[in-house]
A and B are shown apart, each in its own frame.
Chain A
Amino acid sequence: MAGKTNDDALFQFLLRMGDNSLILGHRVSEWCGLSPVLEEDIALANTALDLIGQTQFWLGLAGEVEGKGRTADDLAFLRDAWDFRNVLMVELPNGDFGQTMMRQFLYDAWSQVMVGRLIKSGDKRIADIAEKASKEVAYHVERSADTVVGLGDGSEESHARMQAAIDYLWPYVGEMFDGDEVDAAMVAAGIAPDPASLREEYDALVNKVLSEATLKVPTDVFHHKGGRTGYMHTEHLGHLLTSMQWLQRAYPGATW
């Protein structure tokens, strides 16, 4: 039986999972109707839909664990920026289509490794969510990897844009593998893996895809942080929340 402290850590862990998919799903949904080809409009909407579905599970469970009666919607629409626990990478603006797809791949690759571990979580509720998400995630990573390869090893311009995308995003990758006392508590309880332990598998996948894409993986190990701890988000998150939360904030208590 998990004690109070563990439940706090579990709540934080679930926010991290849910906020990643919520914020990335939101960013991807901004492409609606504006992508380079019709097939991409459909595929991006599909990705956003899956991410929002995963959000409902993660944040739903977070609310349950917290035990204050907050729903997934309450958590999504009524928290301010400092209470969000997503990594910085997912809140960055979309940039061009190449940057969006590069970010998607860098996230999908992490998500695939993570979900693969969570399927074996000691907490059945988490294992179940991971199980449900795993098929979607496998499809996402296959698709985003394909696009990264197609554009990286495409025309001169597409190659240059994809190299610029990885150079820009690379300093945000490291945060996904940072660990703290929340992660230590999850490891101790057999609920979730140590983030650092995902890195080897992740690097193998990313290196393989990026080399197929004829792109250079940056070697700088420096990385930004502050998202998953909530200590310091980017300036972009506040603007994202401003539109996302507007109706709920303007008309408190309404049913939609």
Chain B
Amino acid sequence: MYAQLVKTAGTGVKTREEMSDEERNFQDRVDRDEKIEPKDWMPDDYRATLIRQIGQHAHSEIVGQLPEGNWITRAPTLERKAILLAKVQDEAGHGLYLYGAAETLGVTRDELTEELLSGRMKYSSIFNYPTLNWADIGAVGWLVDGAAIMNQVPLQRTSYGPYSRAMIRICKEESFHQRQGYDIMMKMAAGNDAQRRMAQDALNRFWYPSLMMFGPSDKDSVHSAQSLAWKIKIDTNDELRQRFVDQTVPQAKYLGLTIPDEHLKWNEDRGAHDFSEPDWTEFFNVIKGKGPCNVERMEARVKAWEDGAWVRDGLMAHARKKTAARTAAE
């Protein structure tokens, strides 16, 4: 998921008795699956948590352009180049929808951008891993977009109207992303020795980071319980991770690739796969800025923002001149 480790504001789920009338009324609307709209009353903590979650999701779409952008100039055919460009362009569009949804909560895109660039807001840990061979572009579509879909499909039913509608638009495009990724993997897996080696290498490196996308186990977390009650989180991290593993195992088998987990096996009793946990120490390191590409990703975003300052200022100055000229003419 693109929003992982979102700290839920507040002190945990209140009982009905502890709630104010407004809060009770709000919770009832959420329980009835009514959408909360920007002008409606909402608890401050709900608003704050949503800003964090949607902001983190938006930042992930933006930073997520970089690992794939790394291969646009090296795409092996014109068609692959076009597909990858279209995909990365979609991700920028997703960022735009999501910043738009966040703005309805009273925060501007520029404010959120400042938070990202100063390191106060995070983006998904997955984008701090490098793309090293062409099969990585396949693996990103297959696994990373696959995991994102796993998270975002339920979020179409989230309680906040603008977020839910952004998710519906985004999900329509995400399935194309996953398909193009899997299609690259199929070509690679059916290709020559070097290509098969690239495919396996990509799976080896992206498997555990993909599992980390859902965030650590949240079964004991009060914060998570509050987000579930507000329906800004629909499933627990573990439920989503399990669903992702169960979906991906047969796909890997079909490709003839080996998932790098010797403990992975079908559990008849649970009707699900048993699998190894990712290394959570590594995960927390990546979150703290110590992933393989954190420094490069932030540098790239900061540079783009700073180098672009004169462009934004210039266009603003032009717009002001136009307005002034129009006013003078009236």
Contacts and interface: CB of A to CB of B under 8 A. Distances in A.
A159 B192 CA distance: 53
A145 to B, nearest CB: 13
3 smallest A-B Cβ distances: which pairs?
Answer: A36-B308, A158-B314, A154-B314
A215 interface: no
Contact of B81 (A29, A42, A154, A255): A29
Please indicate which of the listed interface residues A30, A36, A248, A254 has the most CB atoms of chain B within 10 Å of its own CB.
Answer: A36
A52 interface: yes
Nearest to A44: B89
Contacts of B74: 243-244, 246-247
B257 interface: no
Given A42-B89, A151-B315, A256-B187, A251 B194 contact: yes
Contact of B304 (A22, A34, A73, A243): A34
B315 A52 contact: no
Interface in B72-108: 72-82, 85-86, 88-89, 92-93, 95-96, 99
Interface in A203-229: none
Q: Is the interface of B mostly helix, strand, loop or mixed?
A: helix
B243 interface: no
Given A29-B72, A157-B314, A251-B194, A45 B89 contact: yes
Interface in A238-256: 243-244, 246-248, 251, 253-256
B187 A158 contact: no
Nearest to A56: B78
A49 interface: yes
Nearest to B304: A34
A42 B73 CA distance: 17
B106 to A, nearest CB: 20
Interface residues on A, range: 35 or more
A29 B78 CA distance: 12
Given A45-B89, A149-B318, A72 B78 contact: yes
B317 interface: yes
B195 A254 contact: yes
B78 A154 contact: no
Given A32-B65, A32-B85, A255-B187, 18 more contacts: A33-B69, A33-B300, A35-B304, A36-B304, A36-B305, A38-B96, A40-B308, A49-B82, A149-B318, A154-B317, A158-B311, A158-B317, A251-B194, A254-B76, A254-B192, A254-B195, A256-B76, A256-B184
A163 interface: no
